[in-house]
């Protein structure tokens, strides 16, 4: 299975899409609606949607840059693709896009969304403050366009656009999103909150211990079955005890960040297939 998302995220969750497909089948949730309060690159949600394992996906992210990107994918798809085709991937353009990104929505949604995409594809590990691949001198092995395969990215974006009637987008706090959408018992909620450790290096909206506890309390109130992923650290294990869990093995590419293993926690209603 290939990554369906145009965005790069450390530890992209598309690799566990086959496991989630088995979760859906085992729990008679195939064809249900699917909710992600922390959409980010939405690689797992898109993998399930494009494979028709779920009917509609509800993507939410509080980060205005992430929201702007998905907005233009859904609402300005052709304009976005034209920008990608016409924009040179150079250090000078990187500097220009960085300035647009800093302006946020005042630059316009299309410009802001494209700047987010451009920097995500040209920064180390896709991290917005990661610095440009290859540096300003572009003297290393990897050049700025190393992760900017235009034909493939255009293909992904065009395909996602064709599914826009089955994608719902919002920009809310994760708990507010759950309270607003009220996922039913016949849907699946997947939460991928900021890491407990190293979160400030990866996320605009990093969490403290109180935020993580609030998320735990929120999922306990859900009628819908849920799965939540975290970095596998003692603090999170203690917070979610005695919730059932499975260790998760993912390839992380975040430069110099030792993220360690991850863990999945499962709501009591879910039957858990073997993770391979």
Question: What pLDDT, in 10s, does the model give residues 56-90?
Answer: 999 999 999 999 999 999 999 999 999 999 999 99
User: Which run of H or E residues covers position 36?
Assistant: strand 34-36
CA distance 202 to 254: 9
State residue 57's pLDDT score: 99
- 169-205 as b/e: b if 16+ CB within 10 A: bbbbebbebbeebebeeebbbbbbbbbbbbbebbbee
State residue 149's pLDDT score: 95
- Averaged pLDDT of the chain: 91
- Ranking 9-23, 116-130, 200-214, 221-235 by mean pLDDT, the lowest is 200-214
Task: Provide the whole-model pTM.
Answer: 0.92
Say yes or no: 185 and 200 in one domain. Answer: yes
In this structure, what CATH number is given to the domain that contains residue 220?
3.40.50.150
Say yes or no: 183 and 83 in one domain. Answer: no
Q: Helix, strand or coil for residue 228?
A: strand
Domain boundary among 137, 162, 187: 162
CA distance 122 to 199: 21
Range of the domain at 138: 64-162
Per the listing, tokens 């399930």 go with 48
User: Residues for the chain: how many in total?
Assistant: 276
Say yes or no: 43 and 179 in one domain. Answer: yes
Indicate left, alpha or beta for 178 from its phi (over 0: left) and psi (-120 to 50: alpha). Answer: alpha
Say yes or no: 59 and 176 in one domain. Answer: yes
Say yes or no: 71 and 111 in one domain. Answer: yes
């Amino acid at each position: 299975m290939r990554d369906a998302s145009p965005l790069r995220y450390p530890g992209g969750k598309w690799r566990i899409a086959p496991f989630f497909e088995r979760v859906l089948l085992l729990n008679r949730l195939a064809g249900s609606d699917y909710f992600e309060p922390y959409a980010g690159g939405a690689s797992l949600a898109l993998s399930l949607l494009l494979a028709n394992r779920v009917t509609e996906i509800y993507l939410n992210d509080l980060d205005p840059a992430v929201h702007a990107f998905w907005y233009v994918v859904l609402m300005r798809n052709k304009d976005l693709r034209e920008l990608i085709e016409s924009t040179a991937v150079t250090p000078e353009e990187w500097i220009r896009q960085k300035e647009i990104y800093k302006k946020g929505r005042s630059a316009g949604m299309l410009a802001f969304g494209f700047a987010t995409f451009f920097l995500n594809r040209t920064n180390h590990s896709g991290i917005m403050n990661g610095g440009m691949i290859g540096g300003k001198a572009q003297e290393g092995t990897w050049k700025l366009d190393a992760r900017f395969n235009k034909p493939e990215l255009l293909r992904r974006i065009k395909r996602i656009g064709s599914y826009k009637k089955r994608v719902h987008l919002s920009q809310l706090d994760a708990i507010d999103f759950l309270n607003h959408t009220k996922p039913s018992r016949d849907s699946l909620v997947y939460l991928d909150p900021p890491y407990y450790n190293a979160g400030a290096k990866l996320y605009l909206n990093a969490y403290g211990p109180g935020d993580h506890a609030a998320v735990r309390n929120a999922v306990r109130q859900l009628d819908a079955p849920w799965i939540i992923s975290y970095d596998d650290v003692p603090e999170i294990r203690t917070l979610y005890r005695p919730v059932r869990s499975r260790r998760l093995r993912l390839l992380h590419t975040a430069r110099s960040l030792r993220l360690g293993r991850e863990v999945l926690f499962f709501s009591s209603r879910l039957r858990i297939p073997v993770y391979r």
